[in-house]
Structure 1
């Protein structure tokens, strides 16, 4: 396991680029078996029903990711790569699920609200917390509807992400 847990200088930008690559970038997807529906830059119509997904720009996607996922999970306050893993989980599994998995990985009360206790615990033993968080993600995916259809892709995504850092 790599021991470099220092964030890159532009931590959100680095995380955004990794996530957008995993999400397929500007390619539009409309798989009828995907409950998210029409998707571009990883932003799906189901989550943003009033948004013109086909016209979505990279800048628009960056703003949505920062506001609705990165900031919502206080990723600026988490050690790298845990911040990246929580960010990706918020996007792909939901903000509430990401917060709860973070709390479980940090061994604090699981209430879905990332506060000072969660952040402090996440910063203690960051390597262990990051590995435990990813294991919890994999376990949660295995219990998700459509795992038989998308499970290999979901698990490949989290292992590839871990390998990137």
Structure 2
């Protein structure tokens, strides 16, 4: 059952936006994230860019379902994980998204999600899978030559995916899901003050006075 497809698609489309034909984008012309190549493959074989601009919502959903959601077995993945993998597939390809998910759960990275992958995913805490997948996705994106051009947008997108995926996962797992903790270095310019020296008690002072008196009598004896 595709319980989360509509919600996941609406979140993906917020990142994909409308028309794009950036010369640095290897995907070429896209409308709502649908490339001209995929539009021709799933909707209209001889489509032009103008045809792509006029794509309907039903056609958009059909392309996303067939080319991305079904390719990563979105309907069989746990809540939240399904969206994180789906968005990764849309942004970087279903095969890569599948391989990175397989790397997270420790199964063979063949790029095809099957029973072994699904079982391994279900066996791990869903929040951990989401965090690890998003971390690996960002590492991949930072290594791309086009990160300088698209990096700010990609970083924002993955941060949004992480947050929304955790929200989807939380109500259905019983897990206590929190944002990933941020590790900070100590503030070297404002170090913590040294611990106060313990106060000296009455016994200390009596001992000190006793030593002084003993020393005085010792001198008189000489």
Give the shorter-chain TM-score range: 0.7 to 0.9
Cross-structure match for 1:91: 90
TM-score by length of 1: 0.87
Gaps of 5+ in 1: 1-8
Distance (Å, rounded) in 2 between the aligned partners of 1:84 and 1:12: 8
Task: Tell me by how many angstroms 1:10 deviates.
Answer: 3.5
Is 1:18 aligned to residue 11 of structure 2? yes
Q: Is the 8 A contact 1:30 1:38 kept in 2?
A: yes
> Deviations 1:101-141 (Å, cap 9, x if unpaired)?
01001111111111101000111122211111111111111
Gaps of 5+ in 2: 168-222
Is 1:31 aligned to residue 22 of structure 2? yes
SS of the equivalent of 2:154 reads: helix
Q: Is the 8 A contact 1:41 1:58 kept in 2?
A: no
Cross-structure match for 1:121: 120
Task: Tell me by how many angstroms 1:100 deviates.
Answer: 0.2
Cross-structure match for 1:152: 152
Instruction: Report the count of equivalent residues.
Output: 155
Task: Tell me by how many angstroms 1:46 deviates.
Answer: 4.8
The ranges of structure 1 where at least 4 consecutive aligned residues each deviate by more than 2 angstroms after the TM superposition are 45-52
